[in-house]
Amino acid sequence: MKRPERAMLRIWQIRLLGILVIPYFLIGFFYHRTPELLWILVGIVTGIAGVLFFWILPMIFDRYAYELDGERIVAQSGFYYLKMKQMEKSHVQFCSIVASPLQRLHGLVTLRLFAAGGSVTIPGLKREEALAIQRLMTESEGMAE
């Protein structure tokens, strides 16, 4: 199975750091008169951030994979348990390729395939690879020649 580009993990980690600015700001704003409590809360938030940053996000990233043959795509992901989604080429209704500003900076996109019963999302693909998968999964049988 193929894996997303490693730069996607860095993008997730940068997003996490941006999100962590909010608790640090709120702690500093509301608990500035009690420095002992301030340091305890900062320690707790830093510990949670460290666990997320160095353990959970890499574990989630390492579980992302996808495999493509001519008729279907299989994507796996998960944290506590491995989740596998399969979508047949004939069931795909539409496909979208999206990219956040950080993804564009690293040259990556996220591919989303939609069908009547659900969707398959594959983050961290190079744009050319996502376009090739999109072409393969959305081409009709009569026009394949």
Instruction: Tell me the pLDDT tens digit for each residue of 22-41.
Output: 887 787 777 777 778 778 88
Condensed to tens digits (0 to 9), the pLDDT of residues 81-125 reads: 999 999 999 999 999 999 999 999 999 999 999 999 899 999 999
pLDDT score, position 140 = 67
- Token pair of 139 as six digits: 């081409």
**Once rounded to an integer, what is the mean pLDDT over residues 45-70?**
90
pTM, to two decimals: 0.80
Residue 31 and residue 38: Cα distance in Å, rounded?
6
Neighbours of 11 (CB within 10 A): 19
pLDDT score, position 142 = 40
Residue 142 and residue 78: Cα distance in Å, rounded?
36
